[in-house]
């Protein structure tokens, strides 16, 4: 897959407000424009961001935001990257920091745009989807569910505590509704006291479902068509077997990141061969090693995080993570040998 730059995929028309903007105005903007975040900007520089998840967390904590300015409740500092960042690096930054929005800045630090998981998925090439046919390995199997009669506050508390973007409402393990962070934003905009509402009165229904045999490309097309970020996977009886979200789709970009590291090694090997006759061979090798080891460290941290959030009984994920860790170790070993040989020749 080509290493597409973030400057090619970012959303440039970013909705932004000043730090003094009332928080309720920001919630209204998110509801009316149906967007997941609003950027807080001062002198063209990003100073904060407010997302649907921020609102869920505030409602979970019982915070009154009616009289507050957005600067009092926004997330800060903002996770940023430059326009020269490629799509793998952007994904890695989001993964490592547990974020879903990456603010892109120009060389002067001014806002250039925002990249989300949706932007990354929309710009993945067909080969990425064709290589990943096993839906059961990609989807999330431990689905968070609630009953019809439970309260919206129950859903808010669960979403805030375990950092999920939705809860499914089920009846005998059949999905009958769903409540998402966007639903919470909508409900709060319409009625500030939403905690005591019954879920069945406000949930989104019917639930968009897919069969276990659906391929990844069809899934992404359906998400784009329906403008949704998740689909429920059901068996032949219509019972819940999992859920697939945008995060699930792009989390395997780690594999492509490893591939890009191999390409870096190949490129640097060629540079090293050309420089063998020069007295600076050892210095060049050390620089090459440094350039390779930095992304390897980032990748190792990402793999550690994936292992941490994987279910203990998710054997396939554990094996995949182990294979990637082994690949990282092999690359590190190759780099060590490269430096050692260059040192001996020097």
The single residue listed with the structure tokens 């409740």 is 73
Query: Over 90: is that where the pLDDT of 109 sits?
Result: yes
253 exposure class (CB count in 10 Å sphere: 0-12, 13-18, 19+): buried
pLDDT at 1: 47
Lowest mean pLDDT among 26-40, 107-121, 310-324: 310-324
What is the arithmetic mean of pLDDT over 103-112? 95
Share of the chain above pLDDT 90, in %: 47
Query: Over 80: is that where the pLDDT of 125 sits?
Result: no
Q: Which of the four pLDDT bands, split at 50, 70 and 90, describes residue 80?
A: very high
Query: Over 80: is that where the pLDDT of 317 sits?
Result: no
pLDDT at 201: 94
Is 274 or 237 the better-scoring residue by pLDDT? Answer: 237
pLDDT at 258: 55
Are the CB atoms for 121 and 230 separated by under 8 Å? no
179 exposure class (CB count in 10 Å sphere: 0-12, 13-18, 19+): buried
pLDDT at 118: 81
pTM, entire model: 0.69
pLDDT at 275: 60
Is 204 or 265 the better-scoring residue by pLDDT? Answer: 204
pLDDT at 310: 66
Scored b (16 or more CB within 10 A) or e, 100-123 reads bbbbbbeeeeebbbbbbbbbbbee
């Amino acid at each position: 897959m080509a290493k597409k730059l973030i400057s090619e995929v970012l959303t440039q028309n970013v909705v932004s407000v000043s730090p003094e903007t009332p928080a309720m105005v920001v919630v209204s903007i998110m509801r009316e424009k149906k967007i997941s975040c609003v950027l807080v900007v001062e002198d063209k520089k990003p100073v904060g961001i407010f997302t649907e998840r921020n609102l869920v967390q505030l409602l979970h904590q019982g915070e009154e935001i009616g009289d507050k300015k957005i600067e009092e409740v926004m997330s800060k500092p903002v996770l940023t990257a430059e326009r020269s960042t490629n799509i793998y690096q952007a994904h890695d930054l989001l993964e490592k920091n547990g974020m879903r929005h990456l603010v892109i800045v120009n060389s002067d630090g001014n806002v250039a745009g925002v990249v989300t998981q949706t932007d990354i998925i929309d710009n993945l090439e067909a080969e990425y989807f064709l290589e990943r046919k096993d839906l059961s390995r990609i989807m999330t199997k431990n689905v968070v569910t609630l009953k019809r009669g439970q309260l919206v506050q129950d859903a808010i508390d669960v979403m805030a505590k375990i950092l999920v973007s939705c809860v499914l409402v089920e009846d005998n393990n059949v999905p009958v509704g769903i409540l998402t962070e966007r639903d919470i934003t909508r409900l709060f905009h319409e009625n500030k006291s939403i905690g005591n509402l019954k879920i069945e009165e406000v949930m989104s229904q019917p639930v968009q479902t897919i069969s276990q045999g659906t391929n990844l490309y069809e899934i992404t097309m359906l998400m784009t068509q329906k403008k949704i970020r998740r689909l429920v996977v059901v068996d032949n009886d219509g019972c819940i077997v999992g859920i697939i979200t945008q995060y699930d789709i792009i989390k395997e970009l780690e594999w492509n990141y490893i591939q890009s590291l191999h390409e870096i090694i190949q490129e640097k090997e060629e540079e090293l061969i050309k420089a063998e006759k020069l007295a600076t061979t050892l210095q060049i090798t050390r620089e090459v090693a440094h350039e390779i080891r930095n992304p390897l460290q980032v990748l190792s941290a990402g793999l550690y995080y994936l292992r941490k959030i994987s279910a203990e009984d998710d054997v396939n994920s554990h094996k995949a993570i182990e294979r990637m860790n082994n690949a990282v170790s092999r690359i590190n070993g190759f780099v060590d040998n490269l430096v050692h040989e260059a040192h001996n020749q020097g």
